[in-house]
Amino acid sequence: MAQVQPPDRQTFLANIRQSGLLDADQLAVAAEILPPDARARSLARALVRQGLLTRFQAERLLAGRNTGFVLGQYCILDELGRGGMGRVFKAQHRTMNRLVAIKLLAPSLLQTDRAQDLFLREVRTVAKLIHPNIITAFDANHISGRYYLVLEYVDGPNLDQLVREHGPLEVGRACDFIRQISRGLQYAYEMGMVHRDIKPANILLCRGNAKAPQSVVKISDFGLARLHDSASDENPGTILTKQNTVMGTPDYLSPEQARNLHLADIRSDLYSLGCTFYFLLTGQVPFPGGTTLEKLIRHNTMHPTPVEELRPDVSLEAKAIIDRLMKKDPADRFQTPAELAAALEPLAGHDSVAWPAPPVAPANTDDLFEAPLEPTSIHSDSSFELNSSDEVAALANTLIPDAGTTAHSLVIPLPSTRLLPGVHQQDRRRLWLALLIASGVVGGLLATVLLISQILVH
């Protein structure tokens, strides 16, 4: 495969000029940084060190790109994540110098008038959510037919990344984080909002400082789960947007939401929060391994490994809270997030989480741009365009790409006879037959779960 060579110095400077990233004075500084015979790569390194360009910008300019760096009043600084819902960029308001996260939504989500109307209704509601534990939405707009959201930028990791990099959290800290999330959910609940995709990757951790040493967590992606449902007018009342595809995050999906997105109420969010609590304390999801369908069946019919077996220091009170959150019947759970927050109050620690602050610029730029760029790393029209592979992946969050391990939308595979090793051989045959029949119809998931429940009971 042919490699793309970086442009010469003059072409590189021309790309910068056309990009709109630097003003006339900054361009003059850029032209004088290195001798006229210096290569474009050397100039790019120097500009990144000087803080005039980000690495993201320099790489694309070296690749011959000179557009896609400005979106309305915002200058794009970096790409933070991408997936089936679109892309997430770190950006800066050019007048206010405020850092934000911009979600550019995938065109497939907003192809119909119904989807666009739903988007506008959702963002107007989300704009009213002003709470310390919810990511603030600053703006929503569209440009050249592409819709985007401007959100509060959080400079810490999400909880999925935090646990996977540093291990399970201290019990008091985990209780505090869940209590904070509960407060955010209670506020949204009182405003008539249900999240529908609570999971560690959608909870962001803010950096503490001397004035506010306590770590604060914030919920992201309010109002976006329903956009997947709106992409299909064919089955508006179900989260099965096409045959053998289920919407949601299987590791954290409540039993009732697996059957119908519109059955999800605040108690479904609390079930997902229970799964999140389990992950924070144990470092693993409640039902690890297996296919999407197998996970959904386990959420409906089985109990996870008791948290105390994986984490002996978990108190009886914390264990009881997790068990209640993950009850199969919504009526057996906490009925509101406020109830949960009150139960967690005596268990919550209030210390901050420390981790290294990111450098203003890369600590070492000597290795930047050494290898020629592959054509696959360059997008043909605009840095905001989506590759076809993005349509089947999950948008990680508003901060870190590839932090989640479970996609938001997955194709249900063919039935397996290895779903539940504890089921007797005769029951396995009945189970296999039920799955085979049920997986071919729109309502197959519900029928499958109900039939398996009967098999296990009898």
d(CA 296, CA 255): 7
Q: Say whether 160 is catalytic.
A: no
- 401, 362, 300: which is closest to 59 by C-alpha? 362
Please, what is the Cα angle at 313 between 308 and 315, to 5 degrees?
A: 75
Which residues are CB-contacts of 253 (< 8 A; sequence separation ≥ 6)?
272, 295, 296, 299
Please, what is the Cα angle at 190 between 186 and 195, to 5 degrees?
A: 60
Give Cα 307 distance to the centre of its chain: 25
56 within 8 A of 79, measured Cβ to Cβ = yes
Active-site residue, selected from the candidate residues 25, 160, 176, 197: 197
d(CA 258, CA 446): 8
Return the H-helix or E-strand segment holding 147: strand 146-152
- Classified as helix, coil or strand, 219 is strand
280 within 8 A of 174, measured Cβ to Cβ = yes
The secondary structure of residue 231, as a DSSP letter, is: T
User: 61 burial class (0-12, 13-18, 19+ CB within 10 angstroms)?
Assistant: buried
Query: Catalytic site residues?
Result: 197
